[in-house]
Amino acid sequence: MNETSKFSPGRRKLLIASGGVAALGVFGAASWGHLTNYRASWVERVVRENLPGIDLDPGSLQTFIKDILANERMNRKEVKVTVFADRFVPWLPAHISKARDGLEGLERFVLTEYLIGSNFFRIPDPKHETIVYSGMIVACRNPFTYSSAPAVSRA
């Protein structure tokens, strides 16, 4: 039997896997332009799923989505890949801890930016009022760092 006519099962699996990866790459490259639209819907989904039963102002939510997508962190290649993987390979974060941690951190970042930039912490009961996003807060954003006691100076 001629050695070049042998085609091992391992080699066949490698070729099939390579073809699958190539197809996924072509699909990913073709979809990359539409990723911004998906990233926008992903941001909205993160906010809405984490604030169930809360009335969100639709116009200011769209402003938030534009602001957050313009954020430097959201434009990093690894973040775009994480959002892309969450959309097209949803089992990845569920089974790989590094991907899951990256996705959870990204979701926390998005939600924190929305809550801090909105009236969420400034109203008595968010379930009874509409939450309105007013813009990114650049200075010290943590509402829990403010106190009514004057700062003590040590000279």
- HSE, CB side, 13 Å, CA atoms: give it for residue 24: 11
pLDDT tens profile 21-50: 655 665 555 455 555 588 898 899 999 999
> What's the pLDDT tens digit per position in 93-151?
666 777 677 788 899 999 999 999 999 999 999 999 999 999 988 766 566 655 555 55
Confidence (pTM): 0.65
The whole-number pLDDT of residue 80 equals: 81
